[in-house]
Amino acid sequence: MRLARNTCVAAVSTFMLTAGCASCGADMLPDIAGAATVVVSGVGVSLSGYLVKPERRTRSVPAVLLLHDAGGNAQDLVDTARVLTEQGYMALALSMRGFRGSEGQDDCGARQADDAVEALNWLARQPGVDASRLGMIGFGQGAQVALLAAAYTTLPRAVVAYVPVTDVERLRQTTADETFRNYLSTVCVSRGVALVSPLAHVSSINAAVLLVHGAADTRTPASQSEVMYNALQAAGKLSELHIIPGAKHELTLDQFQESWPAVMRFLGRHQMLSLDSRDAEQQKRANVFTEQGWAFRLGLRGIQTIRALGKVKREKVTVLENPHVAGRSDELREFFFEDGLYVKALFPGRQQSAYLLQEVAITKPRYKVKYGLNVGASKRTMLDKLGQPDGEQAGFVEYFHSMGIGTARIYFKDDRISKLEWEFRAD
């Protein structure tokens, strides 16, 4: 798969019919303008790749390791790396062992995962990289390797896995691709099914994980991501699942474009956002704004604190089973005010003396917002106060708290703020 500059492009990648060759490193990667060809030491092998840096850096930036699908190599990922650098990330597109530019043999993730750990350590040592903000994005076999590597090291904060292999034994029974089944039965099984199946290593993964899969994938069925997601959730790990309706193993241009904003939002939510475009004061304001951007009093003193904000037009109550305490119910309350305010809060144990705030939305200038970003304020004011947003969608932008606490969305009409919305990860 490839991500072209400002455009997402899915390219067909085929699985290797053999286990690779020890001399594959002799077939060197070509030089590419704007991408530095680098050699990284894996475990007993040399790996080649491309390091792509942001054009402007005022401080240390986050970095992402990119891993290709089977049959591909680092060259396939250069365009993806460039898109990441436009957002302020540094990116290393790496050829895994057994593929063009790198030594060794393809081993279905057995030692390739150890190589990925070494590559993360190499990336962390590069000048200008913030070693506390590393991530991985893998495609197909590269996604399998990224998940395995995340079980072997605590370096990455976030892992994005496109159409990953997570359970080799299950996949041998469910894939419709006979050539791929033969690969699994020879290369993967010989290395040990548990060793190369990320599902067997869920308890050791500390990074947040985003799984992206096509619903109509018959080569690597979506059940591979679904079973991994369920296991991560059961283990209390931070994880998300993004299923693309109708998508097969090779995503179309539109399908890949649809998935990429979810990837960027995921990286932002899990502390991988790039702060390069903001100065220190803007980042401080962005954190305050995403955590508590409104100027009215909204503390933790119970339901009356919320009702006192204005005249409640409607109040909706949903009773939920508490996911952590057996037999306990919680109340999810939504407050719709007459003058453009919406508040959603969770009341643990159905008590009304305390709550966990989940959402706030403002659509009228009556409610004042920090830094003068009230409904009606200009987009220019927002950029001056908070700096460049972390995500931009049709009609609104997003800011993420650097510690993953909350998200602020700001909507516009004619370059004027028309709505403000906050969302929190309260549990």
pLDDT tens digits for the chain (427 residues)?
A: 433 333 333 333 333 333 344 444 448 999 999 899 999 999 999 999 999 998 765 567 889 999 999 999 999 999 999 988 887 789 999 999 999 999 999 999 999 999 999 999 999 999 989 888 899 999 999 999 999 999 999 999 999 999 999 999 999 999 999 999 999 999 999 999 999 999 999 999 999 999 999 999 999 999 999 999 999 999 999 999 999 999 999 888 889 888 988 898 888 777 676 555 677 788 889 989 998 899 887 755 689 889 988 899 999 999 998 877 888 899 999 999 998 999 999 998 888 888 888 999 999 998 999 999 999 999 999 999 998 887 777 788 888 887 667 889 999 999 999 999 999 865 5
Residue 361's CATH number:
2.60.460
> Do 252 and 314 share a domain, yes or no?
no
Of the candidates 307, 312, 158, which has an alpha carbon nearest to the alpha carbon of residue 240?
158
The pLDDT value recorded for residue 2 is: 38
> Do 48 and 167 share a domain, yes or no?
yes
H or E element that contains 261: helix 253-267
Residue 178's CATH number:
3.40.50.1820
d(CA 408, CA 287): 10
> Do 234 and 301 share a domain, yes or no?
no
Query: What's the DSSP call for residue 369?
Result: B
> Do 268 and 284 share a domain, yes or no?
no
The pLDDT value recorded for residue 14 is: 33
Q: Coil, helix or strand for 332?
A: strand
> Do 266 and 289 share a domain, yes or no?
no
> Do 115 and 251 share a domain, yes or no?
yes
User: Could you tell me the two tokens for 276?
Assistant: 């390069």
Burial of 178 (0-12, 13-18, 19+ CB in 10 A): exposed
Domain end, chosen from 272, 288, 309, is at 272
Give me the number of domains the chain comprises: 2
> Do 81 and 222 share a domain, yes or no?
yes
User: Which backbone phi and psi does 338 adopt, to 5 degrees?
Assistant: -70, -25
> Do 62 and 141 share a domain, yes or no?
yes
Domain end, chosen from 234, 250, 272, is at 272
> Do 228 and 156 share a domain, yes or no?
yes
Domain end, chosen from 272, 295, 312, is at 272
* Strand 156-162 with 7-9, pairing: unpaired
The pLDDT value recorded for residue 58 is: 53
Burial of 386 (0-12, 13-18, 19+ CB in 10 A): buried
The pLDDT value recorded for residue 46 is: 96
Instruction: Give the residue ranges of DSSP H helices in 68-211.
Output: 78-86, 112-124, 141-152, 168-174, 178-183, 189-191, 193-196
> Do 284 and 246 share a domain, yes or no?
no
d(CA 395, CA 393): 6
**Distance from chain centroid for Cα 254:** 19
> Do 228 and 317 share a domain, yes or no?
no
Residues 306-318 as b/e (b if ≥16 CB within 10 A, e otherwise) read beebbeeeeeeee
Q: How many CA atoms lie within 13 A of 193 on its CB side?
A: 8
The pLDDT value recorded for residue 324 is: 74
Contact residues for 234 (Cβ-Cβ < 8 A; gap 6+): none
d(CA 101, CA 228): 31
- What angle in degrees, to the nearest 10, is found between the helix axes of 280-292 and 379-386? 110
> Do 267 and 289 share a domain, yes or no?
no
**Domain enclosing residue 373, as ranges:** 280-424
User: Could you tell me the two tokens for 258?
Assistant: 């649809």
